Amino acid sequence: MQIISGKEAIEEKYPEILYDESRFTSGIPQKLYFPETKEDLTEIVKLADKTATPIISIGGQTSITGASTPEDNCFAVNFIKMNRILSINKSNENECLLSCQPGVTLQEIGSFLEAPLNFKYKVGRAELIKSGYWFYPPDPTELTATLAGTVATNASGARSFYYKSTRNHIKSISIVLADGDTFNCYRGDTFFNSKNALFKTDNGKSICIDKMQYTNTKIKNAAGYYSNDNMDLIDLFIGSEGTLGIFSEITVKIIPRPDIISGLTFFPERQNAFGFAEFLRKQDNILAIEFFDSSAVNFLYENMENHKIPDAPKGKTFAVYWEFAEYAEKPFEEIMEAWEEELLKLHSSFDDTWSGFDKKEMETLKSFRHLIPELINNKISEIKKKYPEVRKISTDTALPGKNFNSVFEEYIKLLDYERLTYISFGHLGDYHLHINIIPKNNVELKKALNVYKKIMELTVKAGGTVSAEHGIGKIKKEYLKMMYGNNEISEMKKVKSILDPKNLLNRGNLF
């Protein structure tokens, strides 16, 4: 196991571990560890417990909430070397299961499933894997994210509209607790009753966790600890942002990949695009419904340079990206006429749609989707050269469907009133759009933060969530309080105190 000691050495050799995509920083570790095994990880945690030293877990640093940024004088654990795919097996329910170390990235999982013979894994049944046949459904957008990071935030992506969030695809987690004890948490083994949940660690220690009395919202949500009636114990750890335990192994369910047809359809007005999304929500086999506001489409064409993307149809600068799972019993051809009729009503058509029928076409659509956040980050980097304090201010709200249109319009009014530059796009199927505010100077940064707070207030008042997929981390804590209130936060803190009484694990996240 590699260990880097001393703040100066860490800051000089590994400056990238000091911040994530939010560019939030909070200190320099006294030691940086690169564990390779569960035993390495347990050793680190036991030392942290013995010395009462905070310990921060670091993955792909794709977070935009400061969740994995180290605090001063902590132990930082980088999982870059715990990145092996360990096994492939079938469950008793005949599900295909993939077991991985926590540091494996989504990109590595995808590559493995495309060409499994190029990888080495320890145990399991190689005959289960057929190249390109299986895939991991949640589809979080950032492929360099680690599996553990996505489980820690209950991440989601475009296809979560159909397949739901990460939580729904996790079968088991091996966990190192704050004192270095370990246990394996299997879905279906341990549930909360009306009062608590009881489990035993590998060392035979009994742990009792009181049931939190609040119930999670039914809309897409990644804010705070998950709580529901008769909930599975594993769901407490999923989405807990590394504050209750450290993952040493994760087993996910993979499924057969359907034939996917995709498209990017352009519209003249925002409400036309919203209307098409409403139509798609009622159709069968729709995997994804993504939206690009005119702010996003115009920004893309104004800022891309050598990227080969066709021009948008003239006068149509709002777009909806969609994916359809095609099956033999229901081919896409059978529904095209009904879709075309709906599109014409909304002042669009298949002539205003970029198709994704083959691999090359789908790559063009994905380029469009992924280029926008990349270009936003590039723009922020340019501004920071003159105004170092400036950062992207990005919303992660989801709303109840009945309130979505009216509240989103209120968001836009606030931004336009302050004349702030913003880019809006995201997961329209789940009523979950991101608004990325780009402050051009320190004055605009102050305005942006004020508008962000007002957006959070509008969201909570409308029954929405302040974080639908990215979590709370270190920079959104005041909004967690705004959403839940003192009693619910106290319940969360009580659970934290039982599993981490010294408050060592990912300290500063959530509370």
Q: What is the CATH number of the domain that holds 300?
A: 3.40.462.10
Contact (CB, 8 A) for 234 and 191: no
Using DSSP's 3-state secondary structure scheme, residue 208 falls into strand
E strand intervals along 382-421: 393-394
Pairing assessment for the beta strands 31-34 and 75-78 based on DSSP bridges = parallel
Contact (CB, 8 A) for 398 and 220: yes
CA distance 113 to 108: 9
pLDDT number for residue 23: 78
Contact (CB, 8 A) for 262 and 323: yes
Q: Which domain holds residue 74?
A: 2-78
pLDDT number for residue 89: 87
Q: Last residue of a domain, which of 50, 78, 106?
A: 78
Identity of residue 289: I
Looking at the fold, whether 310 and 410 belong to one and the same domain comes out as yes
CA distance 400 to 162: 17
pLDDT number for residue 127: 59
In a domain, 489, yes or no: no
Q: Last residue of a domain, which of 78, 94, 117?
A: 78
Looking at the fold, whether 214 and 281 belong to one and the same domain comes out as no
In a domain, 505, yes or no: no
Q: What is the chain's pLDDT, residue by residue, as a tens digit (511 residues)? A: 999 999 999 999 999 999 888 878 889 999 999 999 999 999 999 999 999 999 999 999 989 899 999 999 999 999 999 999 998 888 888 899 999 999 999 999 998 888 877 666 555 565 567 777 899 999 888 889 999 999 999 999 999 999 999 999 999 999 999 999 999 999 999 999 999 999 999 999 999 999 999 999 999 999 999 999 999 999 999 999 999 999 999 999 999 999 999 999 999 999 999 999 999 999 999 999 999 999 999 999 999 877 678 889 999 999 999 999 998 788 999 999 999 999 999 999 999 999 988 777 888 887 888 889 889 989 999 999 999 999 899 999 999 999 999 999 999 999 999 999 999 999 999 999 999 999 999 999 999 999 999 999 999 999 999 999 999 999 999 999 999 999 999 999 999 999 999 999 999 999 9
Domain CATH number, residue 13: 3.30.43.10
Looking at the fold, whether 244 and 274 belong to one and the same domain comes out as no
Looking at the fold, whether 317 and 346 belong to one and the same domain comes out as yes
pLDDT number for residue 116: 78
Looking at the fold, whether 10 and 134 belong to one and the same domain comes out as no
Using DSSP's 3-state secondary structure scheme, residue 53 falls into coil
In a domain, 10, yes or no: yes
**Residue (of 109, 102, 150) closest to 249 by Cα position:** 102
Looking at the fold, whether 393 and 304 belong to one and the same domain comes out as yes
Looking at the fold, whether 106 and 192 belong to one and the same domain comes out as yes
Using DSSP's 3-state secondary structure scheme, residue 275 falls into helix
Looking at the fold, whether 53 and 170 belong to one and the same domain comes out as no
Q: Last residue of a domain, which of 206, 234, 256?
A: 256
The whole-model pTM stands at: 0.94
In a domain, 248, yes or no: yes
pLDDT number for residue 281: 98
Looking at the fold, whether 322 and 419 belong to one and the same domain comes out as yes
Contact (CB, 8 A) for 96 and 90: yes
